[in-house]
Structure 1
Amino acid sequence: MTEIPRRTAARTAKLASLPLGVAGRAAAGWGRRLIGGNSEQISAQLMAKSAEQLFAVLGELKGGAMKFGQALSVFEAAVPEEFGEPYREALIKLQSAAPPMPASDVHRMLAEQFGRGWRSRFEEFDDTPAAAASIGQVHRAVWRDGREVAVKVQYPGAEEAVLSDLRQLSRMSRLLQPLAPGMEIKPLINELRERMVEELDYRDEAANQRAFAATFEGDDKVKVPRVVASAPRAMVSEWVTGRPLSSIIRAGTQDERDTAAALLAEFHYSAPARAGLLHADPHPGNFQILDDGRLLVIDYGAVARLPDGLPRPLTMMTKYALQKRSDELMALMRAEGFVRPETTITADEAIAYLAPFTEPLGTETFRFNRRWLQRQAERVGDLRSPDFDTGRSLNLPPQYLLVHRVTLGTLGVLCQLDADVPLRGIVGHWQPDLFDDEAPAAGS
């Protein structure tokens, strides 16, 4: 057996251990219940063990498996409180932690990307990684002109690992579903596969980052590091660092939470209008708060290209749902392909299903928290709920899939922050059509 098939087989075996481990622990749990064990305590123990295994396997494999774990981490706020803590700790670790690549591999990759004289580009280079991501790790260095820089180096074999992981995870999506209550796993994995292929070429990421940096140059709320150099598998950008958003989620004051959440919401909703792009990887590991109060945004491998800003049909759907304009809402949803053919969904059912996107816009300030998101997940994920049947009648057209996932992911991070956010004003500023004729109904 050659080296690459051998590595692929080993990765597949480790990934297979996830659903098998969950199934084995569930069987053991049922056994303990049959002999009189406390059901709540046993369930909590099972969830803790599953979370522990999830991090151990996904974190070790990096690649598509780790990316899948990072995507799940955005939605941990939807996990019921009695089970949430083990997942919270395990999934948050995936935002910044992974076993490091050996220095010899780093040097070899830099020589391949920048030539054998790559060291002459730097005054200093730290072989110890400062951070790890799904397909690469970051090293701190000093560029030849004295600037501190971050050097992102892709793991050898990353492309093979990413595609292999996501194929395997897609096959196991049904068995993995218990790891993410209230979410549809398979569409998430399929969409990640499309995005990850784009992320493998750091030249594309560098182009995305340059576009964002130009748009937000001199901005008083957002900082995007400048790109210094790039190659297909390595990239150099300014070194900028602040307080990780995950730290504010864990231990921030209410004022810090509210401020961070408002900055994140402003960045998400303003970028399509300002840059014609949407940062498409909204997990907390990609955001920090600088000492000057700005939001630092990193990792531009995944973006949605929106040259005309946010698609107008999404704004109008939200507007019609907010204003209870049922006939116009249903006509637009059918015209845009959001309703499956030959279904009998009513406008009231569609409006109820869109609540995660409309409720936060109904008041000047909305409190995002885990309980609110849990209620939304329970409502659409409960087989007994009318909203579950509604969901089966709805469709998400491919051209809107990424925007939908990123917006939902951003709302998930806002809920992790447990923050009061003036979302109505933020969204209304960047989507003026949303409230332009609402004055008579504003107090309803």
Structure 2
Amino acid sequence: MSDIPRRTASRTAKLASLPLGVAGRAAAGWGRRIAGGDREQISAQMMAKSAEQLFAVLGELKGGAMKFGQALSVFEAAVPDELAEPYREALTKLQTAAPPMPTADVHRMLAEQFGRGWRSRFREFDEVPAAAASIGQVHRAVWRDGRDVAVKVQYPGAEEAVLSDLRQLSRMSRLLQPLAPGMDIKPLIAELRERMVEELDYRDEADNQRAFASVYADDPEIRVPRVVASAPKAMVSEWVTGRRLGDVIRQGTQEERDRAGELLAGFHYSAPYRVHLLHSDPHPGNFQILDDGRMLVVDFGAVARLPEGLPRPLTIMTKFALENRPADLIALLRDEGFLRAGTDVSADDVLAYLAPFTEPLHTERFRFTRRWLQGQAERVGDLRSPEFDTGRALNLPPQYLLVHRVTLGTLGVLCQLEADVPLRGIVGRWQPELFTPAD
């Protein structure tokens, strides 16, 4: 008899322990304050312990819970420094870390996917996982033709775990909201639910990766490993490794961080037009810098399909904002469903709300910083600000949600890098209409 129901109940209980644990620490903290304890020290201790529990639970559960934590981790640059530090390390760990699955489970999954003679496909197979992902882990091996390969194996029961986690996390959105101020967590969870179902079949991921690898095969800036073999719950691709982007964020020189930011932005804006797909998991764990200076990109389970490149309405909206054309902007927003029906908001207010987001495109180079992103988050998330009321009038149609999230995620990584990037030139290469004068 399957033990999936029992494991699912256990996962639900662990996730439920997060808000209860936070509430308990808050009550204890108030007690210590009443007794005369230092308020800032007590708050710091509470947040550190909450962050530790967040990582322990999400990291252990993997699946949708870990995926959600990884999605949040790219937005930590938007959290004010005095609040973010305890969570920063915990969320960043989720980009690459998770407890490994037992060796017996790995062997069983490979036998199910590639047959009982799966070992004959490899000259060598390292039983110790080299990396952990949200719904699977990666082992290093040598393919039968002598190539070094990465073997990605899905965790047993991943589908049940993903759906269970996301249902539970949707009930915790209020607790998690402070990790991404100015952003509505519930739509993110709903979108993750849809995308994670797609990611459960590694054959789809393999097809996506093949498309990217083909287009970027001879690219001087981007490297995508070629796929060697694939099955529904296992995938083999070339082994390529370099310096993790997270290490560049933490320890890189300014020159290294600037270059990494330029490569990341170039990949983000070029892929929709070159591959007609958008890599939709932009957290630092999926990017590395190779010795030859190129950026390695991995994990193509989640993609947006864009047969005509980025949706043209988004380009035209950005153009109107750049050219200070409020009347044209608000008319297009209404036509495309970006304004809620029956809302009364002025064109000038909408332009003022969106203008700071186009700021990086006004100059040849722009320095992305945590402080800049924090300012944007505070501006649109402050209940007392006029921008908050304007933001409430805006709507994000479902067909644009993934592109919007990926763009914000990429922006968050650029701010983590504190990178100086020639964004105007990068965007202009692929969206020349943005900077072409109107007839």
Q: How does 1:333-344 map to 2 (within 5 A)?
A: 333-344=333-344
Q: In the alignment, which residue of structure 2 is the partner of 1:383?
A: 383
Size of the aligned set, in residue pairs, is 439
Q: In the alignment, which residue of structure 1 is the partner of 2:237?
A: 237
State the alpha-carbon separation in 2 of the partners of residues 208 and 161 from structure 1. 24
Give the residue type in structure 2 aligned to 1:274.
R
Q: Does 1:12 align with 2:6?
A: no
Q: What SS is found at the alignment partner of 2:128?
A: coil
State the alpha-carbon separation in 1 of the partners of residues 325 and 94 from structure 2. 42
CA contact (8 A) 1:201 1:233 kept: yes
Q: How does 1:175-324 map to 2 (within 5 A)?
A: 175-324=175-324
Q: What SS is found at the alignment partner of 1:111?
A: helix
Q: In the alignment, which residue of structure 2 is the partner of 1:325?
A: 325
CA contact (8 A) 1:19 1:176 kept: no
Give the residue type in structure 2 aligned to 1:107.
H
State the alpha-carbon separation in 1 of the partners of residues 411 and 251 from structure 2. 19
Q: Does 1:405 align with 2:405?
A: yes
CA deviation string 1:212-267 (max 9, x = no partner): 01111100000000000000000000000000000000000000000000000000
Q: In the alignment, which residue of structure 1 is the partner of 2:157?
A: 157
Once the two structures are TM-superposed, the CA of residue 354 in structure 1 deviates from its matched residue by 2.0
CA contact (8 A) 2:322 2:355 kept: no
State the alpha-carbon separation in 2 of the partners of residues 20 and 10 from structure 1. 15
CA deviation string 1:290-347 (max 9, x = no partner): 0000000000000000010000000000110111101110110000000001101122
State the alpha-carbon separation in 1 of the partners of residues 144 and 416 from structure 2. 40
Q: How does 1:23-172 map to 2 (within 5 A)?
A: 23-172=23-172
Distance 1:247 1:47, change over 3 A: same
Once the two structures are TM-superposed, the CA of residue 156 in structure 1 deviates from its matched residue by 0.3
Q: What SS is found at the alignment partner of 1:153?
A: strand
Give the residue type in structure 2 aligned to 1:122.
F
State the alpha-carbon separation in 2 of the partners of residues 349 and 27 from structure 1. 41
CA contact (8 A) 2:260 2:295 kept: yes
Q: In the alignment, which residue of structure 1 is the partner of 2:421?
A: 421
State the alpha-carbon separation in 2 of the partners of residues 347 and 37 from structure 1. 50
Once the two structures are TM-superposed, the CA of residue 23 in structure 1 deviates from its matched residue by 1.7
Give the residue type in structure 2 aligned to 1:343.
T
**Runs of 4+ residues deviating >6 angstroms:** none
State the alpha-carbon separation in 2 of the partners of residues 389 and 33 from structure 1. 35
Q: What SS is found at the alignment partner of 1:48?
A: helix
Give the residue type in structure 2 aligned to 1:170.
S
Once the two structures are TM-superposed, the CA of residue 438 in structure 1 deviates from its matched residue by 7.2
Once the two structures are TM-superposed, the CA of residue 174 in structure 1 deviates from its matched residue by 2.0
CA deviation string 1:173-210 (max 9, x = no partner): 12332344333211111110011000000000000000
Once the two structures are TM-superposed, the CA of residue 28 in structure 1 deviates from its matched residue by 2.1
Q: In the alignment, which residue of structure 2 is the partner of 1:442?
A: none
Which stretch shows the higher mean deviation, 314-323 or 78-87? 78-87
Q: What SS is found at the alignment partner of 2:391?
A: helix
Once the two structures are TM-superposed, the CA of residue 49 in structure 1 deviates from its matched residue by 1.3
Q: Give TM-score, length-normalised by structure 1.
A: 0.97
CA contact (8 A) 1:318 1:357 kept: no
CA contact (8 A) 2:261 2:421 kept: yes
Once the two structures are TM-superposed, the CA of residue 357 in structure 1 deviates from its matched residue by 3.1
State the alpha-carbon separation in 2 of the partners of residues 348 and 60 from structure 1. 48
Q: What SS is found at the alignment partner of 2:402?
A: helix
CA contact (8 A) 1:153 1:234 kept: yes
CA contact (8 A) 1:170 1:186 kept: yes
State the alpha-carbon separation in 2 of the partners of residues 355 and 249 from structure 1. 27
State the alpha-carbon separation in 1 of the partners of residues 108 and 356 from structure 2. 47
State the alpha-carbon separation in 1 of the partners of residues 179 and 297 from structure 2. 28
Identity of aligned residues (%): 81
CA contact (8 A) 1:78 1:374 kept: yes
Once the two structures are TM-superposed, the CA of residue 356 in structure 1 deviates from its matched residue by 5.1
Q: What SS is found at the alignment partner of 2:123?
A: strand
Once the two structures are TM-superposed, the CA of residue 353 in structure 1 deviates from its matched residue by 2.5
Give the residue type in structure 2 aligned to 1:125.
F
State the alpha-carbon separation in 1 of the partners of residues 438 and 127 from structure 2. 57
Give the residue type in structure 2 aligned to 1:131.
A
Once the two structures are TM-superposed, the CA of residue 2 in structure 1 deviates from its matched residue by 6.0
Once the two structures are TM-superposed, the CA of residue 79 in structure 1 deviates from its matched residue by 1.0
Give unmatched runs, 5+ long, in structure 1: 440-444
Give the residue type in structure 2 aligned to 1:3.
D
